[in-house]
Structure 1
Amino acid sequence: MIRIGVNGYGVIGRRIADAIRLQPDMELTGIVKVKADYKATLALTKGYDLYSADKSGQDSFREKGLAISGSLTDLVPKVDIMIDASPADVGAANKSVYEGFHKPAIFQGGEDHDIAGISFVAQCNYDKAKGHSSTRVVSCNTTALCRVLGSIDESIGISRGRVVLTRRAADPDEPSKGPIDAVVLDPVNIPSHHGPDVNTVLPGVKITTMAMKVPTTHMHLHTVILTLEDPNASEETITQKLEETTRVLLVNGKDGLKSTAHLVDLGRELGRPRGDIYEAIVWKDSICVDEQEVSFFMAVHQEAIVIPENVDAIRAMLGTKSRDESIAITNNTLGIDK
């Protein structure tokens, strides 16, 4: 069994911890929390061993009657690998702790590519992570773009990609970031960071991205326009390829799925934990090909899409399973159909 510690128990960390618990070849050794809040109580309720970020913080947990097993430096020696799900830019400070105990670590997309030297999307570059001491799972938007563009480029070829990202302004548990009554350019300059981030995984794809924030917590929405290399590509061939691509879900507006709110409801009705949708979601009836150019809409559940990548990154770094084996196990345990 692979022993894993998760540093950070917020939006992503909680989901990673739950996903690890479902894996037949992994065990969750402990989770690290900064605050002794309701999330810490829930972690203990689930049977997770709780650690504080530092030794000085342990008293705050004990004062609230929460069982604390130690601090981060007590957890790291017990594990085979750490997953850092702490807030953006905090992971860089934690890296020295993991290195001090000679433990490999997985970081999230809020960190720069340089923190690990490899950025990871399972179906695109799984084998490159093997043996690395650090790996960075890219952000939610980059994960979705890599899955979809990587599949199309591999089979049909992309000569140029252009993507407009309409981003949610905040996660549901971040009321301090809103409300806002504006559409905020994020950033004003072009390209946004998403295109260069895609190129850390898919260096051969030419892509320009631009982004804005809107006052919603329900997912991101991408408007994707791709110039194709294959002059014979059609809506049918694009649709067929995406239907065959793992962790890509095609939905149809004719079925009443016409908004991100509908997709959130779909996730709930599918019985997914927290209503999570781990797949990149493409509207099938938006796929349009015109003179070697395909356009479509894609939604990204920012809270969930990177969870299977974190699980697969563990096996990739430690070399315990092949890409296809790991993806199949992770998909099965998380209820992903393909």
Structure 2
Amino acid sequence: MVNVVVNGIGTIGKRTAEAVKKQDDMTLRAISDVSQNGGLRTVLKEKGALHGTDLYASNEDGKENLESQGFHVEGVLEELIEAGEVDVVIDATPPGIDKANKENLYEPNGVKAIFQGGADPEIAPVAFNADANYEKAEGKDFVKVVSCNTTSLSRTMSAVDEAFGVEDAVANLVRRGGDIPQDGRGPINSTIPVTEVPSHHGPDVQAVMPDLDIKTLAVKVPVTYGHVHMVTANLEEDVSEQEVLDAFDGQPRVRLIEAEDGYDSTGKVHEMMRDLERPRSDMPEAGVWKETVTVEDGTAYWIHMVHQEAIVVPENIDAIRAMFEMEDKQTSIQKTNEALEIE
């Protein structure tokens, strides 16, 4: 069993901690933070998903802060690591803090760590997506799970590239303005273009799939649930729309959504997740609208959506198995999907 600590219990941290608890080959040894922000108090309540989990402070100031807010704190994370009770840390702290944690805490103590999409690209030798490059993380000490948008593009592009080959691609991203609790980002009444072309998402995908020629453009809009990507991919083979659909259907973390069944917007997909009683209405899959999949003269087109709060969670779990060489890619993805009830 691998002993895991999640440091930073915000949007991604609390979800990955809960996901670790559901695995049969790893143990959530503790969680760590510096304040009650991010729902920490809620998840530790009696009916919370992390109730009973040991809480540590990320540093001494955090310990004082948490205790002043009424939390019972077991100690400081460094003490737990130095005691040899931690094999890997999923670091979901803000950019910059994650780098300091690596340099001052993880590296000196020989502890592996997984960082998130906002981290500096140089923080780890591998930018990770389970389907696209699982093997590159095998045995590594540090891995960066790429961002929600990059994860969705890596999944869909790898499905098509592995089946038919992609000569080049362009993805136009419509990004949500903020997560539901990020009220400091709004309200806004504007569409904000990312004026850097390509947006960072293209180079981020190339960090996972270095041979892929992809350009991305992005705008930000005032919604909270989900990004939408409009993708154009020039293929190396002349294929049918059904073959592209089959490639998506065979990707274990891509969900085909049918607008004609009533799921013709991100809001209605959100409602589907609510009706399926998914925890927090989460959708860890990338959702491709079936009707949008089109092929003309060797060029494939599709539109997919990304639930930004949930899509990277299973990747963190698979990254642990890769780093400790616990399972091969297909077995790890299957185990994670079954534990998280990903269809």
TM-score, shorter chain, exceeding 0.5: yes
Deviation per CA, 1:23-71, whole angstroms, max 9, x where unpaired?
0011111111111358332343311111112113322322333210111
1:73-152 alignment, distance < 5 Å: 73-77=78-82, 78-96=85-103, 97-152=105-160
| Letter in structure 1 aligned against 2:128 | F
1:113-192 alignment, distance < 5 Å: 113-186=121-194, 188-192=195-199
Q: Structure 1 residues 227 and 37, CA, compared in 2 at 3 Å: closer, same or farther?
A: closer
The equivalent of 2:77 in structure 1 is 72
- Are 2:34 and 2:61, in contact at CA under 8 Å, matched by a contact in 1? no
The equivalent of 1:260 in structure 2 is 266
- Are 2:124 and 2:144, in contact at CA under 8 Å, matched by a contact in 1? yes
Q: How many residues align?
A: 335
1:326 to 324, 332, 340: 332
- The whole-number CA distance in structure 1 between the counterparts of 2:81 and 2:270 is 36
Q: What secondary structure is seen at the aligned counterpart in 2 of 1:258?
A: coil
Question: CA shift at 1:221, angstroms?
Answer: 0.3
Q: What secondary structure is seen at the aligned counterpart in 2 of 1:225?
A: strand
Question: CA shift at 1:82, angstroms?
Answer: 0.6
Unmatched runs of 5 consecutive residues or more in structure 1: none
Deviation per CA, 1:66-95, whole angstroms, max 9, x where unpaired?
210111212323211111011233211111
- The whole-number CA distance in structure 1 between the counterparts of 2:112 and 2:69 is 33
- Are 2:95 and 2:120, in contact at CA under 8 Å, matched by a contact in 1? no
1:220-235 alignment, distance < 5 Å: 220-231=227-238, 233-235=239-241
- The whole-number CA distance in structure 1 between the counterparts of 2:69 and 2:272 is 38
Q: Structure 1 residues 37 and 214, CA, compared in 2 at 3 Å: closer, same or farther?
A: closer
1:27-66 alignment, distance < 5 Å: 27-36=27-36, 39-45=39-45, 46-66=51-71
Determine whether 1:211 maps to 2:244: no
In terms of mean alpha carbon deviation, does 69-78 or 119-128 score higher? 69-78
Provide the alpha-carbon RMSD of the alignment: 1.2
Question: CA shift at 1:9, angstroms?
Answer: 0.2
- The whole-number CA distance in structure 1 between the counterparts of 2:179 and 2:6 is 20
- Are 2:10 and 2:40, in contact at CA under 8 Å, matched by a contact in 1? no
Could you tell me the percent identity over the aligned residues?
Answer: 41
- Are 1:43 and 1:50, in contact at CA under 8 Å, matched by a contact in 2? no
Q: What secondary structure is seen at the aligned counterpart in 2 of 1:100?
A: coil
The equivalent of 2:48 in structure 1 is none
TM-score of the superposed pair, with normalisation by structure 2? 0.95
Q: What secondary structure is seen at the aligned counterpart in 1 of 2:155?
A: helix
2:319 to 310, 313, 317: 313
- The whole-number CA distance in structure 2 between the counterparts of 1:216 and 1:125 is 31
- The whole-number CA distance in structure 1 between the counterparts of 2:320 and 2:81 is 15
Unmatched runs of 5 consecutive residues or more in structure 2: 46-50
Question: CA shift at 1:113, angstroms?
Answer: 2.2
Q: What secondary structure is seen at the aligned counterpart in 1 of 2:75?
A: coil
- Are 1:316 and 1:322, in contact at CA under 8 Å, matched by a contact in 2? yes
Q: What secondary structure is seen at the aligned counterpart in 1 of 2:196?
A: coil
- Are 2:9 and 2:38, in contact at CA under 8 Å, matched by a contact in 1? no
- The whole-number CA distance in structure 1 between the counterparts of 2:57 and 2:281 is 29
TM-score of the superposed pair, with normalisation by structure 1? 0.96
- Are 1:30 and 1:75, in contact at CA under 8 Å, matched by a contact in 2? no
